[in-house]
Amino acid sequence: MVKSMTGFGRSEYLDENVRISAEIKSVNHRYLEPGIRMPRRLNSFEAEIRNWVKTVAARGKVDLFITCDSFENDSEEVRYNASLAEGYYGFMKEMSEKLGIENDITVSKLASFPDIFTIEKKDEDMDELWPLIKKTLDEAGAQFVAQREIEGERLKNDILGKLSGMEKEVAAIEALSPEIVKEYRKKLTERMREVLEGTPVDEARLLTEAAVFADKTCVDEETVRLSSHIKSMRNTLMTGDPQGIGRKLDFIAQEMNREANTILSKCNNMDISATAIHLKGEIEKIREQVQNIE
């Protein structure tokens, strides 16, 4: 299935001990560029999370936001630094003796000094936490992938419609191309008769001039290649490997544009020129859409 590179997904896990949320969004990018923001205490899971991103996206600038809040009452504990307290007290006593002033230090004053008491979080059981994070990621990822598939299907159908219209325009150019040579020969014959004023027209010269003109203005090769590119793009959209399909479609669109430019440069017929210009416009629209296909 064709996937767009634009998508969004969000999920949250909540129980009496922890709340985990995951939000993932992406925009088009030439390669896969994951950006992960999460609490530092989850850094040990970074490798697993980066590998998980690769399972939901092959291309695109992917931003993933993870939060994890603990509700456990005993998740924090007070730590007493005895050696630091003894150091503070020793220096205060030494100051008192050397300066000859009263040592009025009390337990409450000593306790107010920096880092005597600290509050620290207890180590979490990371083995129990990872399955909950993974579950939250999978739920957000399912929404993300589903949205990319829906948008990708819309892009595919729109491009297929444009390809069908382009085939009709290529057929119109192929039908008009022989008429150009006939029209040129007719005008050339009339002009030669005017110039020669009754002298018989040299049919051999006329055929030569018409052949040279036909060779310069013939777009048969271009229309054949353009038709082939249209079929190739359609087949790629319908049956191609969804992983990295966007790069192949972009290459085909570039080749289509090349053929349309050649047709436009060769022809000197207003109808063919107008059709070729419209073809270029449709190809450019397809190229813009292809940029957002994974």
Of the two residues 222 and 51, the one the predictor is more confident about is 51
pTM (2 d.p.): 0.69
Query: Considering only CA atoms, which of 106, 113, 105 is closest in space to residue 81?
Result: 113
Q: What is the mean pLDDT of residues 113-141?
A: 85
pLDDT reported for residue 273: 85
Which run of H or E residues covers position 256? helix 245-266
Alpha carbon separation from 234 to 152, 228, 231 (Å, rounded): 14, 10, 5
| 3-class SS of residue 143 | helix
Structural domains of the chain, ranges and CATH numbers in brackets: 7-73+127-147 (3.30.230.10), 76-121 (no CATH), 150-290 (1.20.140)
| Whole-number Å distance between alpha carbons of 27 and 182 | 52
Rg for the chain, CA atoms, rounded: 37
| 3-class SS of residue 250 | helix
Tens of pLDDT along 17-66?
899 999 999 999 989 999 999 999 899 999 999 999 999 999 999 999 99
| 3-class SS of residue 72 | coil
Phi, psi of 22 (to 5 degrees): -135, 130
Q: Which residues contact 185 (CB under 8 A, 6 or more apart)?
A: 206, 210
Query: Considering only CA atoms, which of 180, 270, 186, 168 is closest in space to residue 226?
Result: 168
Instruction: Name the region of 60 (left: φ>0; alpha: ψ -120 to 50; beta: rest).
Output: left
Q: What is the mean pLDDT of residues 113-140?
A: 85
**pLDDT band at residue 104 using 50, 70 and 90 as cut-offs:** confident
Q: Is the pLDDT of residue 267 over 90?
A: no
Phi, psi of 99 (to 5 degrees): -95, -10
pLDDT reported for residue 242: 62
